[in-house]
Amino acid sequence: MKCRHCQTQLQHVFLDLGHAPPSNAYLSEAQLHAPETTLPLKIFVCHACWLVQTEDYTVAHELFSSDYAYFSSTSQGWMKHAKAYCEKISEMLHLTRDSFVIEIASNDGYLLKNFVEMGVPCLGIEPTASTAGAAERIGVPVLRDFFGAATATMLAANGQRADLVCGNNVYAHVPDINDFTLGLRIVLKPGGTVNLEFPHLKNMVEQNQFDTAYHEHFSYLSLTAVSQIFERAGLRIFDLEELPTHGGSLRIYGCDKDDSRQTTAAVKTLLADEKRLGLQDLSLYRAFQQKADKVKNDFLAFLIEQKRAGKLVAAYGAAAKGNTLMNYAGLKPDLMSFVCDAAASKQNKFMPGSHIPIRHPAELAKRKPDWVVILPWNISSEVMQQHKQIKTWGGNFVIAVPKLKVLT
């Protein structure tokens, strides 16, 4: 396999989690009786441009199907984050009724609905019919397509170049990252701004977030790698913010390479920090597998201990990262009875690979588990606040990543 950005032959494995089904391929009861597709989940690092990336195995439309079950608006914390962003960027860029905003991977309209309410013209680009339909029902215009240079060229030819092109947690999901980035430049107005948010590789490495590795993530992004990808496409990162979302994310601000805006000190500082951490040193990547294995082994030991003690263990949040953890650990319903999730699109289905049933959150009060494992550990505070009633019967919350920890 060659690097998706620079075409260097890939030789160095960062993480090997064996074979697993796609993390968002939730199963109906009927599908439990049919063969289940599993794919290699192996991640390489390119020693030339330092882009961390999954092994080639499939194409995007097989992962982002019409019944895609992830709806962004399920998390109230994420909704607040999106609203705050829209208010901030509107003021920063002086967006008005004469402006135009494009969001790539607009999902169920969780973000663009804020621009609709402000009267700022906008367009979502979203390939999955389930989420696109939800966005359209709340008044968000959607182009149902995957984004890339061809789509961007079509939009530009139609006079739909944007003052702001934004994308939250889509950049890592792109199989052809060069084509996608070129599309950003094509669809951007002169003087326009690109905003992308994505989980930061620095946090994945420092905090042992190996469960953020899953098939829909084609890339694991550092500022070092993204800066090179932007440069090739004729863009430049001129500013950034470090955010707590998804266990630690970057929000980058991009523009045309010849834009008059100066590159801030924050960009230069973070590039230096990444180098100091070792993100351009193969020894850092070679040491990561052992850390992931320790998390898996500690989690399994905890579950087996609870099983022997006769305790009931459930989980909250049928998240992709949870599927990565459970499939790597080889979990089945004997060690974890059920998973609760607020998303109706996941309820009464089964987790891929592990076949653990997904239930409505009301199941917690009904069955009163002794332990609730919060699989999306990045929103553990939100989950604990929403379901604090488990304390009334002596239940406890626990997370497995970045290390096994009982939450109080």
pLDDT tens-digit map of 219-277: 999 999 999 999 999 999 999 999 988 789 999 999 999 999 999 999 999 999 999 99
- Answer yes or no: are the C-beta atoms of 39 and 21 closer than 8 Å: yes
- Answer yes or no: are the C-beta atoms of 100 and 119 closer than 8 Å: no
pLDDT above 90 as % of the chain: 89
Q: How far is 375 from 385, CA to CA, in rounded Å? A: 15
Give the domain-ending residue among 204, 231, 259.
259
φ, ψ dihedrals at 271, nearest 5°: -60, -40
- Please, what sign has the CA dihedral across residues 148, 149, 150, 155? positive
| pLDDT (0 to 100) of residue 24 | 84
- Has residue 26 been placed in a domain? no
- Has residue 264 been placed in a domain? no
Q: How far is 131 from 154, CA to CA, in rounded Å? A: 23
- Has residue 170 been placed in a domain? yes
- Has residue 27 been placed in a domain? no
| pLDDT (0 to 100) of residue 246 | 76
φ, ψ dihedrals at 309, nearest 5°: -85, 0
| pLDDT (0 to 100) of residue 62 | 58
| pLDDT (0 to 100) of residue 66 | 47
Mean pLDDT, residues 137-151 taken together: 97
Mean pLDDT, residues 370-382 taken together: 95
Burial class (CB in 10 A: 0-12, 13-18, 19+), 202: buried
Q: Is the pLDDT of residue 388 over 60?
A: yes
Mean pLDDT, residues 114-142 taken together: 96
Considering the domain architecture, whether residues 251 and 350 belong to the same structural domain is answered as no
| pLDDT (0 to 100) of residue 57 | 65
138's tokens: 């709340």
Q: How far is 105 from 113, CA to CA, in rounded Å? A: 14
Considering the domain architecture, whether residues 232 and 326 belong to the same structural domain is answered as no
Name residues whose C-beta falls within 8 Å of residue 266's C-beta, 6 or more positions apart in sequence: 239, 240, 241
Q: Is the pLDDT of residue 16 over 60?
A: yes
Instruction: For residue 59, name the pLDDT band (cuts at 50, 70, 90).
Output: low
Instruction: For residue 313, name the pLDDT band (cuts at 50, 70, 90).
Output: very high
Domain residues for the domain of 222 are 72-259
Q: Is the pLDDT of residue 70 over 70?
A: no
Q: Is the pLDDT of residue 307 over 70?
A: yes
Structure pTM?
0.91
Annotate 151-161 with b (16+ C-beta within 10 A) or e (fewer). bbeebbeeebb
Residue 101: which CATH number?
3.40.50.150
Considering the domain architecture, whether residues 102 and 209 belong to the same structural domain is answered as yes
Alpha helix (H) residue ranges in 24-99: 60-63, 76-93
Q: How far is 352 from 251, CA to CA, in rounded Å? A: 31
Considering the domain architecture, whether residues 300 and 255 belong to the same structural domain is answered as no
pLDDT tens-digit map of 151-204: 999 999 999 999 999 999 999 999 999 999 999 999 999 999 999 999 999 999
Mean pLDDT, residues 15-43 taken together: 93
Indicate the SS3 state at residue 402.
coil
Q: Is the pLDDT of residue 17 over 70?
A: yes
- Has residue 47 been placed in a domain? no
- Has residue 241 been placed in a domain? yes
Considering the domain architecture, whether residues 119 and 216 belong to the same structural domain is answered as yes
Instruction: For residue 21, name the pLDDT band (cuts at 50, 70, 90).
Output: very high
Considering the domain architecture, whether residues 331 and 247 belong to the same structural domain is answered as no
- What is the biggest distance separating any 2 CA atoms in the chain, rounded to whole angstroms? 66
Burial class (CB in 10 A: 0-12, 13-18, 19+), 271: middle
The total of structural domains in the chain comes to: 2
Residue recorded with tokens 């992004």: 221
Considering the domain architecture, whether residues 224 and 362 belong to the same structural domain is answered as no
| pLDDT (0 to 100) of residue 49 | 98
Burial class (CB in 10 A: 0-12, 13-18, 19+), 355: middle
Considering the domain architecture, whether residues 79 and 222 belong to the same structural domain is answered as yes
Tell me whether the omega of the peptide bond preceding residue 333 falls within 30 degrees of 0, making it cis.
Answer: no
- Has residue 246 been placed in a domain? yes
| pLDDT (0 to 100) of residue 233 | 98
- Has residue 39 been placed in a domain? no
Q: How far is 348 from 360, CA to CA, in rounded Å? A: 8
Instruction: For residue 92, name the pLDDT band (cuts at 50, 70, 90).
Output: very high
Q: What is the mean pLDDT of the chain?
A: 94
Residue 311: which CATH number?
3.40.50.720
